[in-house]
Structure 1
Amino acid sequence: MPPLQAALTHDPALHWRTLTTEHFEIHFHDGEETLAHEVAGIAEQTHKRLIHELNWRPAKRTQLILTDRFDFSNGSATPFPRNTMSIIVTPPRSDSAINDYNNWLDTLITHEYTHTLHLDKREGLPVGLQKIFGRMLLLFPNILQPPWFIEGLATYHETDNANHIGRGQSTQFRMLMRMESEYGIKPVKQINQPLESWPMNTVRYLYGVYFYQFIAERYGKEKVQELVEQYSDNLIPFMINSNTRKVLDA
């Protein structure tokens, strides 16, 4: 399916190949073989690091679709029907909010693989039900969290303060949050949905990463992962408030 998925959004004349590693199947088109091997190395190193930080190992290889056929920077990840990441390797522009990086591929893969592990993670009853009903969308508890919860966690993990990497430490994000503070912090019901007003969809990354950084600074870094652990066995969606109160004793 991933090579077909890639072919549907690209020039049909492209020839696709697959590079298989221990934990990934990397699908790439003509002219990307060297890049695919570079991505393979970065992806495996990212896997080794993040499986411990997020306490989760996917049961099967993650599908990774690689392309350089677009002139913008982006990526995506989904656990349904199986773990699949798509990455556009084009580096961001100098004025972009995602321009704080040392190696663009490393930052991008860290962000998207955080999504993969987070969204694929489940414990307790959802695990048993998936053995009966398969990988049904509603049996992935974390995929039903608000976008700012999901994007905030990935942005939190992409951030490396010591090396000035990631949006969680960027001067642009600090400027954006100062302006939010000056003009009024948006209520949760507003950031739970796409915004048509400034700062538009950046809000999910901005508010999300500052939320997790606040948790880490006020309650300890271990509470960030505990939020993930506690939510991963929920069958009833959208229990953000009760889950957070339980973890933080608030």
Structure 2
Amino acid sequence: MRIFAACLALIFSASISAFEHFSITRDWQTIEGQYSKVTYPKTREKEALHALASADNVLPQLSDYLSWTPFDKVEIVLSDQSSSANGYATPFPYNRSVLFLALPSGVSELQDYDNWLDLLILHEMTHIIHLDKTRDAASYPRYIFGRNIFSFPNIFLSTFFKEGLATYAETSLDKNVGRGQSAYYDMVMRTEVESGLLPLGKIQQSTRDWPFNKSYSYGVKFYQFLESKYGPDSIPRYVEATSGRLIPFLVDGPAKFATFSDGLKELWAEYLTWLEL
């Protein structure tokens, strides 16, 4: 087990350090709330207090929605050393999210927001709850071997399932925020309908082909399709099903459980038909 852990550390250490974008030599402070902890540069106390309040507000709501509460508080790091309006979240080795404080600039798909930090936190905390969730037989490896990468069944989902859910969660039609209601994404999907919608296999591939960020554009519309055709409860049912898979690459079971379709291939065909309407 020690050799195995060392190999995993070597594999992931380079990629993890490449995404950190903050210096450990700065003066860091940590504040703690009921559901989260925020670590931040000393000069960013105002943003840290806002982030803590925002995370502590959305985490219990997401836990209720997806029927899962992390065992420990979520660790959040605020970084002001990147010009990228972005962030990321991971449940391994513990629930942790790094948020870049830069605002979206220029014309981009991220323009539809009210408060950028609130929207970013909602997106990343959705990832935390979704990726940390496990149940039934899929939870046994975590209880036996601890928090290792193979004890998080939703990590192995295709990117469009993960990013689509978080983008769906960030979207509010009432407040006109989030990419799921943006004019840009509507334009992208209208263009896709005109030029020919992509099959499931293409969506699951990481390519540089148009549309850029197709995991987000196709992904959020997929969850909106589930809500429209099968009801809002179909989404947490889908997450419930994928969170209980001991073998993560069996994709038909969750589709059948959440929508009573014959499988993911058939469900995708229904989705493409829905997009064309």
Conserved in 1, the CA contact under 8 Å of 2:235 and 2:258?
no
Relative to structure 1, the CA distance from residue 9 to residue 68 in structure 2 (aligned partners, 3 Å threshold; closer, same or farther) is closer
Structure-1-length-normalised TM-score: 0.94
Q: 1:33 maps to what in 2?
A: 45
Conserved in 1, the CA contact under 8 Å of 2:242 and 2:254?
yes
Relative to structure 1, the CA distance from residue 132 to residue 206 in structure 2 (aligned partners, 3 Å threshold; closer, same or farther) is same
Q: 1:145 maps to what in 2?
A: 157
Query: How much does 1:69 deviate?
Result: 1.9
- Name the Cα RMSD after superposition: 1.8
Query: How much does 1:167 deviate?
Result: 0.5
CA shift digits 1:2-26 (9 cap, x unpaired) = xx97996424541112111111121
Q: 1:228 maps to what in 2?
A: 239
Question: Percent of pairs identical after alignment?
Answer: 36
d(CA) in 2 for partners of 1:129 and 1:151?
25
SS of 2:70 mapped into structure 1: coil
The reply to whether residue 15 of structure 1 matches residue 46 of structure 2 is: no
Structure-2-length-normalised TM-score: 0.85
d(CA) in 2 for partners of 1:128 and 1:243?
19
d(CA) in 2 for partners of 1:10 and 1:36?
15
Moved more, 7-16 or 123-132: 7-16
Q: 2:83 maps to what in 1?
A: 71
Q: 2:274 maps to what in 1?
A: none
Conserved in 1, the CA contact under 8 Å of 2:163 and 2:216?
yes
Query: How much does 1:247 deviate?
Result: 2.0
The reply to whether residue 173 of structure 1 matches residue 155 of structure 2 is: no
Moved more, 190-199 or 169-178: 190-199
* Structure 2 unpaired stretches of 5+: 1-15, 262-277
Determine which structure has greater relative contact order: mean sequence separation of CA pairs < 8 Å that are 6+ residues apart, divided by chain length.
Answer: 1
- Higher helix fraction: Structure 1 or Structure 2? 2
Mapping for residues 180-191 of structure 1, pairs under 5 Å: 180-191=192-203
Q: List, as ranges, runs of 4+ consecutive aligned residues in structure 1 with deviation greater than 3 Å.
A: 4-9
Equivalent position amino acid for 2:253 in 1: S
